[in-house]
Structure formats: C-alpha cells, structure tokens
Amino acid sequence: MCGIIGLLSEHRDVVPELLDGLKRLEYRGYDSIGVATLNPNGELERRRTEGKLAALSKLLHRKPLSGFIGLGHTRWATHGAPSEINAHPHATPEAAIVHNGIIENFQEIKTRLLTEGRCFETQTDSEVVVHLVSQKIRQGLEPLAAVRETLPLLEGAFALVFLFAYHHDLLIGARRGSPLAIGFGENEMAIGSDALAIGPICRQLIYLEDGDLAVIRPGSVKIIDQQGLSAVRPRRISSVASLDLGKSGYRHFMLKEIYEQPQVIGDTLNTMINPVTGRLSLPNLPELKRTNRLTIVACGTASFAALIGKYWIEKLARLPVDVEVGSEFRYRDPVLAPGQAALFISQSGETADTLGALRLCRKMGQGILSIVNVPESTIARESNVLLSTVAGPEFGVASTKTFTAQLTLLAALALVLATHRGHLSEQQETHLIRALMEVPAICAEILANTGPMEALARELLAPARDVLYIGRGLSYPLALEGALKLKEISYIHAEGYAAGELKHGPIALVDENVPVIVVAPTDHLFSKTASNLAEVNARGGRTIFIGDKDGLAKISNLAGSLILPKIDPFVIPLVYAIPIQLLAYYAAVTKGTDVDQPRNLAKSVTVE
Ligand code: F6R
C-alpha cells in the first residue's frame, strides 16, 4: 500500500530515477502520485497529481522539476480521496514527507495542532507527521531531533521518509510496521519501500528492522534502533539489478506471469527434488514434524492456496489443518496449544493481516513457517523456517504465478509430511512426485492453445453481469480463486461456491443470464459435481464445463466447455489454475479494463 522512495545523489538530477523507481512501485498503489526536491536555494518544490505515473510525467513536462535530492510517492488512498491535494509528498516550508501505512491517532493530533493554529490542506492521516516535525524545527530543533521527538507521538504503522529544506545532504527514514530498504549506489544513496524500487540503482541493500530510524547522508547511513542505540544491519547484494523487469513483449504483466508458470513450477520443484534420488526434501521443520495440528493463515488468493494445502495435507498426511484469513484470525482470540506449528502464506511477505497473525502465533508459542515470494520481506525474516517460491517479481496486481508456486510448495509439503507420518509408501510418494514433475509440461501444453479460453471469455463471460463458479474437493478453492480473479480484473460480479452448497441458497441466482462455470476434472467427486451441473441446467442456467474428455462424454446441454488433458487428480489445482486465470484475463481484456492495475486495488497490502 503506497510506494515510497527517496534519493540523494552527489552528481546528478534525481527526478528521472525517482520516476523510474515509482514505475516499479506502482504495484503498491496507483491512484495519485508525486515528487518533491530541493531547488538550488534549498527550498522545497513539489509536483503532484491524481492518477498514475503517466499523469505525473505529463505534469513534469509542463512544469519541470529537478534536484540532487528528492522524494517520490505513489498512493493507495486510505484517508482522503485520491486527488492532487491529498497526494504525497506532504510539505511545509520546513520539510516534506512520504508515508506508507496509517497513522491511527491522526485525528487527535490534528485537532490539537489546529487549536495551536496550524493549517491543514489535506484530508489525509499522513499530513500530521509533516506538521509535527515542522513545528519542532521551528522551535529550533535540528531535523534528526525533530524526527526523534515526532515518532513516539505516532500510533499505527508507518514507513516514512523525510526531506528537509536547506539540507541538501540529508534524508531520514523511519520504519514501524511497513517495510523500508536502503541502497548504496555509486555516489548515490536511496531509500524505498522495497528492493524493486531501489535495487536497479543500488547494488548493495540493507533492510531496516521494525523501530529503526535511518540517517542517510552521501555515502553513509547511520541506524538507530528502537531502544535509541546505534545498530548495524547486514548489507546484501541486490538480486534485482539483473532481473528482467519488463513485459518481454507480452501485452500485460499478468499475461507474461501466466506464461511463466511452467518455468516457475519447475524451478520451485527443482529446489526440493533431489536429482539423484528423485525424492523430496524440505528445510528441517522440527515443529511441523512434532505438531498434531497445523494452522495456516493467509489472505486473498494465498488463502485459497492454503485451502488447497489443507485438502492435500489432511488427505495424505492425516494431519488436521485449520485455514484462516489473517484479518479474522488475529482478532478472534484463537485457541492454540504451545509447541504446534503455524504456516503463513504470502506473495509479498508484507501483508499486514498475515504478519499480525504471525506475530500473534509467535507469542502463543507456535513454530513459525512461511511460504513467501520475497525472501527479504518481513514475514520471511520473522519465520523460523522459510519455504521460498522462486517465482521472481510479480507485477500484475492479480496473483497468478505466485499462486501456482505456493501450490507447488504445499503439494511437496503434503508429501513430505505424509511420508514422515507414515501414511505414504515410497512407491506412492514416487508416483505423486512424478505427477508433480509432469505439471510444467502439461501447463505449457495448455498455454500453447489459449484460443478456446479467449473465445469463451469474450462470448460468454465479458457480456455477463454476474458469474458463478462451482467445484467440489480440490476444485472448490479453485472456484473461489476463479471468482476472485474474474471480479478483481474484469469487475464482473462473480462468486465461487462448493458445488454441493449451490442448492442451499445460491441456486436462486441462476437464470439464463448468469453463466455458471463448473470446474469438474475427472476425480472421485466427478459424478456429484456433474449432478450439480445438471441441476443448474434443469433451471435454465447456462453452464460452462472445465474438465477433461472423459468428463465431457458424460454430460450434455452445455453453453461452453474447456477441455484439458486428463491428469492425476493430485495435481488438479496446479493445472486447472491456468484456464481459470486466462478466462479472467481475456474477459478483462475484452472489457478494456486496466488488467495489471485494476481499480481500487494494490499488490502489497500493508494496512489492515
Ligand atoms: C488476488 C491477490 C490478493 C493477494 C492478497 C494477499 O489476485 O493477489 O488477494 O493474494 O492480497 O497478498 P500476499 O500474498 O502478498 O500476502
């Protein structure tokens, strides 16, 4: 939520690099955007606008801005509508700030400052920060002292970067809850929400810990931890500099990322399969091996991966699994016996609700495991054991390749647990590992012929106002994921249901205008799902079947169908994820929505 960046150069104008960094941060929010610099006289200057980077570039063309030091911000609105006035950086004559997070006690602070005669120009929570700091500077404090007196007054989560009038060689960053990384470039220092923002500029990075304050000057950074003591954080080489961060000729990042899945699934498997023995091995998971119950917490798409993980682990390893969404779990006073294990699944590794749940579980004596795509993220760093999805950066706001990478790890985890707990023979394990290893090729085969998905999305989904997705067993979480994908990028109202639940209420929605997508691969539940499909048909509904040839032969009266290769039921979620993603993608393209940056959303959800 909101991307922030600060740059300090000894030799060049930082505005082009700020814009470049903001481009890579847009996945965090994109409703308004701005930059601030110091002019040669040391005064603060800003350019801000509603909209995305393109709007800011246009504005800068009309009203140029330059400077050797500056801040940038791309916003996902929490308090105050997306508008130029509410866009960051917020500034006074003394200082400018960019903020990611929420200042929960902003109203109290604002009321007090208003009575003291300060004037506010925005409806944001963030503006109080710049007023507090400026007030202290006016009272005679140096910038660092002013920031140190301000931070304890703030409640909530924040990553903040401060720029001060007449201080050409100073940026201050502070982190509580929201992530911040600092980069060391050639005659350049950078600070930003993540490595993607600053990695291409800086070969070496450090990540601030919670409570850290960073004083950035040319060539150096001084870190003060939450106890007020000087601290050292390890420097790492940025892996981002060498990555391909473009669309490689694809029309959208989402499409590129869908097509990367055979590779990503294969790469993730290769991190776990011993090439000599052909057997799976995962990092040592002592709590998991001891536990008699596993709690999995995640949000959104990651929570549907978790649900599939539950089905796999319970069936194969006979270990009870609870799946919860972070926002509910952390506030409902859950009962957890010490010494059990909890698993957190997150692409970004920064989702506030998932992270809050992790910290609660840690307090309650749980062993903490995570499945994360960004290894330097907070969730990754706060886990006892990290299972990394090796999917590379995902820019499309809708998760695709990271979903299947999460599933790959969960499938492997289920097999390792099943073997360890004595529920799977070596022969069965070998069979299921082979099935997993065939997935990349099967996915590649499906991706080689996307015409039927495109046609179906264009003809049946894009014109619809409402769409239902149903499935049973492993296909039920896929139905949930299919509906989420469709609504988030095409804005078509869609709901996913367990196929057996349809008759308990949702079937009332069925008429000839509501396409019902039935995810029904051939598995032990096929005939039951086929009956549910028939029930929809009997009520004049229009059913779209996603399954295989054997299944198709057993049903009739379809409005449309997608036929996939026949596969081992174990790997259904990995393979069927692809048509589900593509149906949403092509429906969105037909409707002309902003596929990579759908309205109202952001990729990294660092607020509650
Ligand atoms: C949907 C989507 C979101 C995320 C959710 C959790 O396509 O991407 O539902 O899955 O916001 O994000 P992470 O995985 O970063 O914790």
Check whether 372 has a pLDDT greater than 90: yes
Collapsed DSSP state (helix, strand, coil) of residue 347:
coil
Q: Report residues whose beta carbon is within 6 angstroms of any ligand 1 atom.
A: 299-302, 346-348, 351, 354, 398-399, 484, 488, 605
Q: Read off the pLDDT of each residue in 314-321 and give the average, rounded to a whole number.
A: 97
pLDDT at 382 over 80: yes
- The whole-angstrom separation of Cα 473 and Cα 454 is 27
CA of 302, closest atom in ligand 1: 10
Name 92's Cβ contacts closer than 8 Å, sequence gap at least 6. Answer: 130, 131, 134
Question: If you average pLDDT over residues 226-248, what whole number do you get?
Answer: 82
Comparing CA positions, the residue from 217, 179, 213 lying closest to residue 198 is 179
Amino acid present at 127: E
Residue 259: CA count within 13 A, CB half-sphere: 13
Q: How far apart are CA 380 and CA 290, in angstroms?
A: 22
What's the CA dihedral at 253, 254, 258, 260 to 10 degrees?
Answer: 20
For the cut 90, the answer to whether the pLDDT of residue 197 exceeds it is no
Contact 249, 219 (CB under 8 A): no
CA distance linking residue 118 with residue 278, whole number of Å: 68
Nearest-angstrom CA–CA distance, 452 and 573: 20
- H-type helices in 271-325, by residue range? 286-290, 300-317
CATH 3.60.20.10 matches 3-237 = yes
Q: Ligand 1 centroid vs 400 CA: distance in angstroms?
A: 10
Cα–ligand 1 centroid distance for 495 (angstroms):
17
Atom of ligand 1 nearest to the CA of 300: 9
Listed in order, the ranges of the chain carrying CATH 3.60.20.10 are: 3-237
Sheet holding 493-498, edge to edge: 493-498, 466-471, 515-519, 542-547, 560-563
Residue 202 bears catalytic tag: no
pLDDT in tens, 542-586: 999 999 999 999 998 999 999 999 999 999 999 999 999 999 999
Exposed e or buried b for every residue in 423-447, given b needs 16+ CB within 10 A?
A: ebeeeebeebbebbbebbebbbebb
Check whether 210 has a pLDDT greater than 80.
yes
Strands (DSSP E) found in 154-289? 156-164, 171-176, 181-185, 188-192, 204-207, 213-217, 220-224, 230-231, 236-237
Q: Is 554 in the active site? A: no
Could you give the CA distance from residue 250 to residue 243 in angstroms, rounded to a whole number?
16
Q: Can you give the pLDDT at residue 65?
A: 97
Q: How far apart are CA 10 and CA 273, in angstroms?
A: 48
Q: What is the CATH number of domain 449-596?
A: 3.40.50.10490
Tens of pLDDT, residues 417-445: 999 999 999 999 999 999 999 999 999 99
Q: What is the pLDDT of residue 246?
A: 81
**Residue 376 — very low, low, confident or very high, per pLDDT cuts 50/70/90?**
confident
Pocket test for ligand 1, best of 351, 383, 608 (most atoms within 8 A of CB): 351
* Burial readout 384-397 (b: 16 or more C-beta within 10 A, e: otherwise): bbbbbbbbbbbbbb
CATH of 248-447 among 3.40.50.10490, 3.30.565.10, 1.25.40.10, 2.40.10.10? 3.40.50.10490
> Which residue(s) pair with 134 in the sheet?
none
What residue ranges of the chain are covered by domains with CATH 3.40.50.10490? Answer: 248-447, 449-596
CA of 478 to the centre of ligand 1 (A): 15
Instruction: Strand 294-298: give its sheet, edge to edge.
Output: 321-325, 294-298, 341-346, 367-372, 385-388
Pairing type for strands 95-103 and 90-91 reads antiparallel
Structure tokens at 89: 């950086």
Say which DSSP state 315 is in.
Answer: H
Per-residue pLDDT reduced to its tens digit, 108-142: 999 999 999 999 999 999 999 999 999 999 999 99
Residue 302 Cα, ligand 1 centroid: separation in angstroms? Answer: 6
Sheet of 181-185: strand order equals 44-50, 32-38, 69-75, 3-9, 188-192, 181-185, 204-207, 236-237
Give the residue from 91, 92, 173, 94 showing the smallest Cα distance to 140. Answer: 94
Check whether 26 has a pLDDT greater than 90.
no
Residue 486 · residue 461 · CB < 8 Å: yes
Indicate the residue type of 156.
G
Taking CA atoms, 33 is separated from 2, 10, 74, 98, 592, in Å, by 9, 25, 4, 11, 23
Q: Which of 1, 301, 379, 606 to mutate to test the pocket of ligand 1 (most atoms within 8 A of CB)?
A: 301
